[in-house]
Structure 1
Amino acid sequence: MELSLTSQEIAAIIEARATRGATTETIRDIASLATARAGDISFLGNPKYKAEVPACAASVIILPIDYDGEPRPGQLYLHVDNPSAALAKLCARIEQLLWPRPAPGIHPSAVIAPTARIAASATVGPLCVVEEGAVIGERTHVEAQVFVGRHAAIGDDCWLMPGVRVASECVVKNRVRLQIGVVLGSDGFGYEFINGRHEKVPQVGRVLIEDDVEIGANTTLDRARFSQTVVGQGTKIDNLVQIAHNVVIGKHCLICSQTGISGSVTIEDYAVLAGQVGVAGHLTIGRGAKITAQTGVNANVSPGATLKGTPANPYMFEQRINVLRQRLPELFQRVDRLEKKFPAEKTSSDA
């Protein structure tokens, strides 16, 4: 990372509410509290690391407004309401510095169909393919080796990173970010068993990605068997997620890595699916529900519920089961001792 920011610039970017101490160091990197050195910036985003702040060697530390410790000599504390959010704001500025958008235009090696429509303010990088009737909107940045299929549409201010595939007829609205290797519009997994064979069911729908969605690297979203697979406004999807045909995901959901969502599932607004969640087909996960890591969902989930385990149970119930499960060896030992102390009377069938 080639970074060079003064402490005054950082304080202005994160809109620090108060400062304590001072430093003349130029900030060159970001580091954790435990590993930071002079020239680094660090932050206290989780209260459990509070004890690491006094020994931290960072030149600048972003801290909660109520942190009352004193900085070391040559060290600056910047106080904000939310250190994690403040660091995110700083990283957004760093991102602009490290990876500035190239000038608008189409790279000579890109292959563009004559009927494709690409905004003059858009950027299309090396070795991209944009097929017939496709649309790329204003200020959208399409990096190297991206494929945009026939009659697909990409909206304004999007960022498609290298190797993204947007298949025919799929629609990506505005301010969407697709990380490296995302696939939109692969065929849904649909077959009918006919006369001893698995016969393919054509998948003739599309994928629709609403505004302000981000989708992580190598995540795949299957086109619908009919109608559309949908990801709602503001939803964020992690790397390596599989979303099957005709899934409808609501607004502002969070879906974490290695989750698999079967066909025709509906996930309502503000739901959270943690890592490695599996969801069986044709279910509804209610608004604001939270599904914890490695949970297997095989029934509808009520709005606001928190589930854990496979099969999924209410969170606290599953926690109790886990506690009792750890006591099973002790329980079996007690039963063995009781059987030895009070041997069962033999029945006629035992004789």
Structure 2
Amino acid sequence: MPDARFFLTLDAIKVSDLAERIGGTLVRGGDAVVTGVAPLATADDQTVAFLGDRKFVEAMASTSAGCVILPESAVELAPSSAAVITSREPQAAWSRAALALHRPILLDHAASVSEVCEDESVSLAPGVVLGKGARIGRGTHVGANTVIGPGVQIGRNCQIGSQVTLGFALIGDRVTILSGARIGEAGFGAAGSSTGPVDVPQLGRVILQDGVTIGANTCIDRGAFDDTVVGENSKIDNLVQIGHNCVIGRNALIAAHTGISGSVRVGDNVMFGGKAGIGDHISIGEGARVAAGAGVLADIPAGETWSGYPAKPIRQFLRETVWLARQVTRKKGEGRD
């Protein structure tokens, strides 16, 4: 279930009522009651999951979901124990179910300094806004006009710059976040529907482990359901984008203008040059290096350096670049003859 520090779980709903609210068709199990949503792999008998792609058929076969939403053509794949709703747009229907069952806790009024700060060693510059249930550890400084959202937990001896927004986040000790960073905003997720794209509710968190540095104006999106995680001692430059559900390992170095799409897995000690772009659901092995400007569209094995667009092992990239340059030079020479 979504973290109760950041999300309200609303009233339970009968599956028959839910089908009507999300525009689906009830197949069976209308009297079952559901209390939340979850992915197929982690759903339990009180939650709703969906099948939007045949590549998740194995997950459907083993799910414990109390209710599943799927296309009419896939009804036979539903577990016999689950209530079933069919939809031509299962992900959009699931998104509507999420909105009916969960709601983010908003910053509708501020908490007092004594409620949030561990002791008097916490330093707050003018204009800081503190949400209910937030907690800031000893020795931490928060810059002017920064907003700490409800439930956010910040460790000890952190340095938070001015005009930062922190929401749906758990921050370790000795973390530095420079001015203008946006941590925990909703990730970019949309599902197609007959009425146009539907926003997919983002019900996860951001976790920044001890010793992390986040540059100015960098954005790290919270998870869609799982967490977005940045590992210990990783250093992220200014103007970097990290999408929802990414897991960045320890000691990563990520230079400015790098963009990492959703659900990327990065091992320990990985380096990204400036303006690198990483496609979604990519895995990058421990100790790998991504050259500046590279466009990564395939998994990178541990220890390798990749460059180019689409990115490939750097020796291959250099050989192809040299060969191409020779072909251009040869053609020009033939033209003069």
Same fold at TM > 0.5: yes
Match of 1:128 in 2: 128
Q: Report matched runs for 1:123-272 at 5 Å.
A: 123-167=123-167, 169-272=168-271
For the residue of structure 1 that corresponds to 2:197, the secondary structure is strand
TM-score for both structures, normalised by structure 2: 0.65
What amino acid is the match of 2:274?
G
Q: Is it true that 1:311 corresponds to 2:310 in the alignment?
A: yes
**d(CA) in 2 for partners of 1:317, 1:165:** 43
Q: Once the 2 structures are TM-superposed, how far is the Cα of residue 114 of structure 1 from its aligned partner?
A: 7.3
Q: Report matched runs for 1:1-351 at 5 Å.
A: 112-113=111-112, 116-120=115-119, 121-167=121-167, 169-336=168-335
Structure showing greater radius of gyration is 1
What amino acid is the match of 2:327?
L
Q: Once the 2 structures are TM-superposed, how far is the Cα of residue 324 of structure 1 from its aligned partner?
A: 2.5
Could you tell me the percent identity over the aligned residues?
38
- Whether the 8 Å contact between 2:116 and 2:130 is mirrored in structure 1 is no
Q: Once the 2 structures are TM-superposed, how far is the Cα of residue 175 of structure 1 from its aligned partner?
A: 0.1
**d(CA) in 2 for partners of 1:227, 1:115:** 31
Where do 5+ consecutive residues of structure 2 fail to align? 1-109
TM-score for both structures, normalised by structure 1: 0.63
**d(CA) in 1 for partners of 2:285, 2:144:** 39
1:225-256 CA distance string (max 9 Å, x none):
01210000000000000000000000001000
Q: Once the 2 structures are TM-superposed, how far is the Cα of residue 147 of structure 1 from its aligned partner?
A: 0.6
Q: Once the 2 structures are TM-superposed, how far is the Cα of residue 143 of structure 1 from its aligned partner?
A: 1.2
What amino acid is the match of 1:309?
G
**d(CA) in 2 for partners of 1:118, 1:259:** 34
- Whether the 8 Å contact between 1:123 and 1:141 is mirrored in structure 2 is yes
Q: Once the 2 structures are TM-superposed, how far is the Cα of residue 321 of structure 1 from its aligned partner?
A: 2.0
Where do 5+ consecutive residues of structure 1 fail to align? 1-110, 341-351
For the residue of structure 2 that corresponds to 1:116, the secondary structure is helix
**d(CA) in 2 for partners of 1:217, 1:185:** 15
- Whether the 8 Å contact between 1:115 and 1:133 is mirrored in structure 2 is no
**d(CA) in 2 for partners of 1:335, 1:236:** 51
**d(CA) in 2 for partners of 1:282, 1:147:** 31
What amino acid is the match of 1:212?
G
The 3 A distance-change label for structure 1 pair 202 and 255 is same
- Whether the 8 Å contact between 1:245 and 1:263 is mirrored in structure 2 is yes
**d(CA) in 1 for partners of 2:178, 2:113:** 27
For the residue of structure 2 that corresponds to 1:293, the secondary structure is coil
1:41-91 CA distance string (max 9 Å, x none):
xxxxxxxxxxxxxxxxxxxxxxxxxxxxxxxxxxxxxxxxxxxxxxxxxxx
Deviating beyond 4 angstroms after TM superposition, the runs of 4 or more aligned structure 1 residues are 334-337
For the residue of structure 2 that corresponds to 1:320, the secondary structure is helix
